[in-house]
Amino acid sequence: MVGIRSFGALALLSFASAAVSSSTAGIEALVARRLPHLAHKFHFELSSPCAQNASCFDSYTVSSVGDKIKVSAETLSGLNRGLYAYLTEIAGGDIYWTGSYLDVDCAPPVDQKLTGSSVVKWRYYFNTVTFSYTAAFWHWEDWELQLDWLALRGVNLPLAWVGFEKTLIDTYRWAGLTDAQISTFLSGPAFQAWNRFGNIQGSWNGTLPMSWVNDQFILGKKIVDRMVELGMTPVMPAFAGFVPRAFPEVDNSPNLVNSSDWSGFPTILTNDTLLEPQDAFFTKMQQYFVTKQKEDFGNVSSIYTIDQFNELTPASGNTTYLATVSNSTIESLKAADPNAVWMMQGWLFFSASTFWTAERIQAFLGGVSNNEDMLILDLFSEVQPQWQRTQSYFGKNWIWCFLHDYGGNMGLYGSMQNETVVPMEALAANPNMVGMGVTMEGQEGNEVTYDLFLDQAWSKAPIDTASYVQKWVQRRYSGKAPQSVFQAWDILRTAVYSNENANVSVVPKSILGLAPAISGLFRFGAGNHHPTVPSYDPQVLIGPWRLLVQAAFAHPHLLKIETFHHDLTDVTRQVVANAFIPAYVNLISTWNQTGATSASIRKAGQKLTDILTTLDKVLYTSPDFLLSRWISKAVAWAKGSHEIKTYYEYNARNQITLWGPEGQINDYASKDWAGLVGQYYKERWELFVKYLATTTPETYNATVFGDTLLQFEQAWNGQRWSGPACTKGNLLHIIETDPLLQSLLA
Ligand SMILES: *[C@@H]1O[C@H](CO)[C@@H](O)[C@H](O)[C@H]1NC(C)=O
Ligand SMILES: *[C@@H]1O[C@H](CO)[C@@H](O)[C@H](O)[C@H]1NC(C)=O
Ligand SMILES: *[C@@H]1O[C@H](CO)[C@@H](O)[C@H](O)[C@H]1NC(C)=O
Ligand SMILES: *[C@@H]1O[C@H](CO)[C@@H](O)[C@H](O)[C@H]1NC(C)=O
Ligand SMILES: *[C@@H]1O[C@H](CO)[C@@H](O)[C@H](O)[C@H]1NC(C)=O
Ligand SMILES: *[C@@H]1O[C@H](CO)[C@@H](O)[C@H](O)[C@H]1NC(C)=O
Ligand SMILES: *[C@@H]1O[C@H](CO)[C@@H](O)[C@H](O)[C@H]1NC(C)=O
Ligand SMILES: *[C@@H]1O[C@H](CO)[C@@H](O)[C@H](O)[C@H]1NC(C)=O
Ligand SMILES: *[C@@H]1O[C@H](CO)[C@@H](O)[C@H](O)[C@H]1NC(C)=O
Ligand SMILES: *[C@@H]1O[C@H](CO)[C@@H](O)[C@H](O)[C@H]1NC(C)=O
Ligand SMILES: *[C@@H]1O[C@H](CO)[C@@H](O)[C@H](O)[C@H]1NC(C)=O
């Protein structure tokens, strides 16, 4: 069967061989997009490009020449970073996720030349799952902002998954599978990351429409073009080996194995079939995939991402087997692209550390002969680095990555020491640490920690966080913040963003977003990934919050600055979420007292409802905290089809709530969002209080309550949003009049 397939027309294609662009048009277009009134002020000069020279890192020089600002560098990424250095250090501007674009009025001259240089070859960005947790429904405008943000910060190695399914489907079709067979494999729009990882297959509330695949393909090509134009090397997908269940009908190879199951999903949705890389047909599919991808996306990169065992157990732990798998994988890539470099997320070495002994890791990595042919992401370096126990990945090139956030959790959190001092120590100790990367699962908040880390990649010495945060506040609020706001941020820096408590080492989530239960809601980090205990004393947050609130009252212009409005909403959100903890503790202890009455339980429960009502109102004031924004972006992709809208909305709702048809990973990606708090979490806690009021510690039955809950949750998953899709209310007015907020401020 295999023999009759040929590459047909594809083999005859030739490609433009330009990899990274060498024109300054990309950065000029960025200036025209973000700073149109200053477009004539900049002169970008690309001098003697140093590509192909391993010891040459990106660097820049900025100076005034006549009335122009001249930025020169040897690479486009150097130019981008040079522009950023000028904007942030001299012109006082910046660009954020939170809706505030560069708002620099004029371009002051440069008195003293600005120079800078990256300390690492690669600045990497994205986790495979960020494409689902944060970017699942992004449109081109969202991507444009994100890519400008990345480029300016000097990122030069972003992951580029968007549009992958089109190439995959083409490859499956070429292999002889029918569209019906293929469609049973593909997962819904909000779950593609785990389908790409081979964790799940299929979709649980309808079928992925081809219109989604085609629209993402168009979007993906724009993204890759823009990345290249901005001097970034996209990390492209490749064929990992996961195939539809029906694959034996086209190739009944002895090298087909079922992967292990993942996160308690039923077999039909997991245990993905893997065509092992040592199969000759795997290589053919890889060649087809890579060739087709180059035809469609351009010959823009030779760095490919492949993960075969992310949260999956390999079929055998035999070291010969593991070396064969990796050797065959790299051989298949080399057959498709002689320059291929295989990038993999190193998460498995931490998450399955019992399986992945140093000996097995050595065998697996040893299957690839050249150290430069691999790029390992040490995925969680700021908390659980694996490079020590693997002797620096036994010589393979690797990137120190900052993970920070699971599932788009939203608590305030940072560990600035571990973002600055710790990576610099690692760099000094490891010549094969070739980059610094950000591999957050979700990009939701705590923006200051991302800025700090990406700036650290351009500073030899660990950054001094005290002065850093002051300068950051200065430009974040356009130079218009009073002293008290700086004070507030300095407290946040030391209390919230300088965590050294290893128990809570990632972004915590609010317990209000967890399924109500009488116990088990308080937990620490690392082991079960999302702590719910803040890393600081909640009382400590009141001080900076009060300072921000007072500043907002005293200086009404502040709230007109989007970033300030965002930050005040966010800190208020956290204060209210923290207030939920003692209210919850009080509810449980009231219920647990002998002689508790249903009236006393309801009264204690009312406090929870009140807190959630306040929180929902607060969140509604900011566009960055709306459930309706997530949903409307999803539904907009359906372009009018009612059935597809319903399917996309189910996907959007399901990921952030049940995460699976029956709550397989319930609340993993919970969010403090207006609409979700008011409609979903509040309803769940009210059901809980109602149930508590009718039970005692002797009669309480978690199964009975769980059934009630699931019924509500599933019904909510199937609903369509009918409320407003925009902000409402005035944050200051709410703070002034809400009794709960007033009592917390007092
Ligand atoms: C892709 O570009 C590289 C150089 O960047 C070149 O060596 C290679 O032949 C090109 N591949 C194809 C398929 O054109
Ligand atoms: C590589 O770049 C470094 C730094 O710019 C430079 O010193 C060196 O001469 C270059 N080597 C080659 C072979 O071009
Ligand atoms: C994989 O699982 C499916 C579904 O249970 C089963 O039909 C198939 O035989 C299994 N394949 C292999 C190679 O074990
Ligand atoms: C799914 O994986 C589990 C191991 O994680 C295994 O026990 C089970 O047999 C697999 N099922 C199929 C159908 O392959
Ligand atoms: C591992 O697999 C190889 C090749 O199949 C075999 O020769 C060897 O005996 C196996 N080792 C162990 C410990 O099972
Ligand atoms: C695959 O393994 C063989 C045998 O060890 C080795 O010679 C070859 O270099 C490996 N291939 C790659 C691309 O590393
Ligand atoms: C910071 O990094 C060190 C060294 O890797 C580690 O021991 C510590 O637990 C980390 N701290 C936090 C809060 O993650
Ligand atoms: C960390 O967790 C351990 C075990 O749960 C606990 O004993 C210890 O008090 C915790 N430390 C902090 C600082 O919370
Ligand atoms: C209820 O109180 C008893 C006795 O103090 C205690 O052992 C138990 O853990 C409490 N239950 C809950 C759910 O708090
Ligand atoms: C809890 O309720 C379930 C379902 O009604 C029942 O099967 C189970 O026996 C109950 N558990 C206890 C401890 O009563
Ligand atoms: C999708 O889920 C909703 C809510 O759980 C359910 O009502 C509906 O029947 C499901 N639709 C499909 C096609 O599975």
Given a cut of 50, whether residue 155 has pLDDT beyond it is yes
Cα-to-centroid distance, 273 and ligand 11 (Å): 26
Determine if ligand 1 sits within 6 Å of the CB of residue 292.
Answer: no
437 forms beta bridges with: 124, 401
Q: How far is residue 238's CA from residue 302's CA, in Å, rounded to a whole number? A: 10
Given a cut of 90, whether residue 102 has pLDDT beyond it is no
Q: What is the pLDDT of residues 426-440, one digit of tens each?
A: 999 999 999 999 999
Exposed/middle/buried for residue 445 (C-beta within 10 Å: 0-12, 13-18, 19+): buried
Cα-to-centroid distance, 170 and ligand 11 (Å): 29
Looking at CATH, the fold of the domain delimited by 122-463 is given as TIM Barrel (3.20.20)
Q: Which CATH number fits domain 485-745: 1.20.870.10, 1.20.120.670, 3.90.480.20, 3.60.150.10?
A: 1.20.120.670
Q: Which of 587, 590, 592, 700 to mutate for ligand 9's pocket (most ligand atoms within 8 Å of CB)?
A: 592
Average pLDDT, the chain: 94
Ligand 8 atom with least separation from CA of 503:
1
Q: What is the pLDDT of residues 55-74, one digit of tens each?
A: 678 999 999 999 999 999 98
Please say whether the dihedral angle defined by the alpha carbons of residues 184, 186, 188 and 193, taken in this order, is positive or negative. Answer: positive
Cα-to-centroid distance, 197 and ligand 3 (Å): 18
Q: What is the pLDDT of residues 456-490, one digit of tens each?
A: 999 999 999 999 999 999 999 999 999 999 999 99
The predicted structure's pLDDT at residue 8 = 43
Q: Which of 294, 339, 341 to mutate for ligand 1's pocket (most ligand atoms within 8 Å of CB)?
A: 339
The predicted structure's pLDDT at residue 103 = 76
Q: How far is residue 425's CA from residue 462's CA, in Å, rounded to a whole number? A: 9
Determine if ligand 8 sits within 6 Å of the CB of residue 501.
Answer: yes
Domain layout of the chain by residue ranges: 25-52+58-117, 122-463, 485-745
Percent of the chain with pLDDT over 70: 95
Given a cut of 70, whether residue 357 has pLDDT beyond it is yes
pLDDT band at 454 (very low <50, low <70, confident <90, very high): very high
Cα-to-centroid distance, 687 and ligand 10 (Å): 18
- H or E stretch including 138? none
Looking at CATH, the fold of the domain delimited by 25-52+58-117 is given as Chitobiase; domain 2 (3.30.379)
- Interval 40-57 mean pLDDT: 76
Cβ(83)–Cβ(42) below 8 Å? yes
For the CA of 339, the nearest ligand:
1
Q: How far is residue 402's CA from residue 386's CA, in Å, rounded to a whole number? A: 13
> What is the distance of C-alpha 14 from the center of its chain?
35
> What residues contact 104, with CB distance under 8 A and at least 6 apart?
35, 38, 87, 91, 92, 93
Determine if ligand 9 sits within 6 Å of the CB of residue 594.
Answer: no
Determine if ligand 8 sits within 6 Å of the CB of residue 503.
Answer: yes
Give the residue whose CA is nearest to atom 2 of ligand 4.
260
- Interval 387-413 mean pLDDT: 97
Domain 122-463 identical in fold to domain 485-745: no
The predicted structure's pLDDT at residue 268 = 98
Cα-to-centroid distance, 247 and ligand 4 (Å): 17
**Among the ranges given (7-21, 104-118, 472-486), the one the predictor scored with the smallest mean pLDDT:** 7-21
The predicted structure's pLDDT at residue 188 = 98
Give the residue whose CA is nearest to atom 1 of ligand 11.
205
Cα-to-centroid distance, 316 and ligand 3 (Å): 17
Cβ(445)–Cβ(412) below 8 Å? yes
Cβ(387)–Cβ(381) below 8 Å? yes
Q: What is the pLDDT of residues 668-706, one digit of tens each?
A: 999 999 999 999 999 999 999 999 999 999 999 999 999
Cα-to-centroid distance, 704 and ligand 9 (Å): 20
Q: What is the pLDDT of residues 501-548, one digit of tens each?
A: 888 899 999 999 999 999 999 988 755 568 999 999 999 999 999 999
The predicted structure's pLDDT at residue 530 = 86
Q: What is the pLDDT of residues 703-725, one digit of tens each?
A: 999 999 999 999 999 999 987 78
Q: What is the pLDDT of residues 257-272, one digit of tens each?
A: 999 999 999 999 999 9
106 forms beta bridges with: none
Ligand 4 atom with least separation from CA of 270:
1
Give the residue whose CA is nearest to atom 6 of ligand 8.
503
